[in-house]
Chain A
Amino acid sequence: DAGVIQSPRHEVTEMGQEVTLRCKPISGHNSLFWYRQTMMRGLELLIYFNNNVPIDDSGMPEDRFSAKMPNASFSTLKIQPSEPRDSAVYFCASSLDISYNEQFFGPGTRLTVL
């Protein structure tokens, strides 16, 4: 049974470029979460979806960040334009629902913005 799949695993881009991170949740999971991990801020939730609908995007840092979930098996996190301070590891996680069930994390995408 495949876990949460994220692509790319590593991304290096230049400031000002658009970056798109992709996530495929575990089949049958109804909730999807995007987290960002940095040394300074630790792990922080950016946005989460339930049944493909965004529930809470209060963690999205600014308008340069956007996330979509067009169907139950795919989500994207886009940064446009990217800035060096966006460099971080971005995790996608999924769970059966938005109760206390464990969240299964993907391997993460390490983003470096030069």
Chain B
Amino acid sequence: AQKITQTQPGMFVQEKEAVTLDCTYDTSDQSYGLFWYKQPSSGEMIFLIYQGSYDEQNATEGRYSLNFQKARKSANLVISASQLGDSAMYFCAMSVNNQGGKLIFGQGTELSVKP
């Protein structure tokens, strides 16, 4: 069965520093996609970044990068130069080819950025 594990319920980071949020996944499928979403206190889900299982380069989107280590089945999110507005819940998710667009989410990591 497919599963996403986020082992950090909460994280703190100092403003302007970088932070890594951990995500490991489990699937026997060879074709899958990995996503990160941000959920601020207002509740909406904001797409941040996507990595395909066949992509050789790590995905980057502005201050967000995804550290994809396929052999270790990890897809950590790196946020560089943290800002106060980065304080939010962060969810890692996976979609598997043979299950269409179904997203399986991890339990989330609550990030707090300190001034």
Seen from chain A, the residues whose Cβ lies within 8 Å of a Cβ on chain B are 31, 33, 35, 42-45, 48, 50, 55-56, 89, 91, 93, 95, 97-108, 110
Asked if B25 is at the interface of the complex by the 8 Å CB criterion, the answer is no
Provide the main secondary structure of the chain B interface. strand
Partner of A102, one of B50, B102, B104, B106: B50
Q: Does B35 contact A102, Cβ atoms closer than 8 Å?
A: yes
Known: A42-B108, A100-B33, A100-B50. A50 touches B45 (CB 8 A): no
Pairs of residues from A and B, 10 with the lowest C-beta to C-beta distance, nearest first:
A100-B33, A105-B45, A98-B101, A98-B100, A43-B105, A102-B47, A42-B107, A107-B44, A31-B101, A100-B95
- With a cutoff of 8 Å between Cβ atoms, the chain B residues found around residue A102 in the complex are 35, 47, 50
Asked if B103 is at the interface of the complex by the 8 Å CB criterion, the answer is yes
- With a cutoff of 8 Å between Cβ atoms, the chain A residues found around residue B41 in the complex are none
Seen from chain B, the residues whose Cβ lies within 8 Å of a Cβ on chain A are 32-33, 35, 37, 43-47, 50, 52, 91, 93, 95, 99-108
Closest to B47 in A: A102
Q: Does A95 contact B50, Cβ atoms closer than 8 Å?
A: no
Q: Least Cβ distance of B107 to chain A in Å?
A: 5
Q: Does A56 contact B100, Cβ atoms closer than 8 Å?
A: yes
Closest to B99 in A: A56
Closest to A99 in B: B101
Q: Does B100 contact A45, Cβ atoms closer than 8 Å?
A: no
Closest to B42 in A: A107
Known: A42-B108, A108-B43. A48 touches B91 (CB 8 A): no
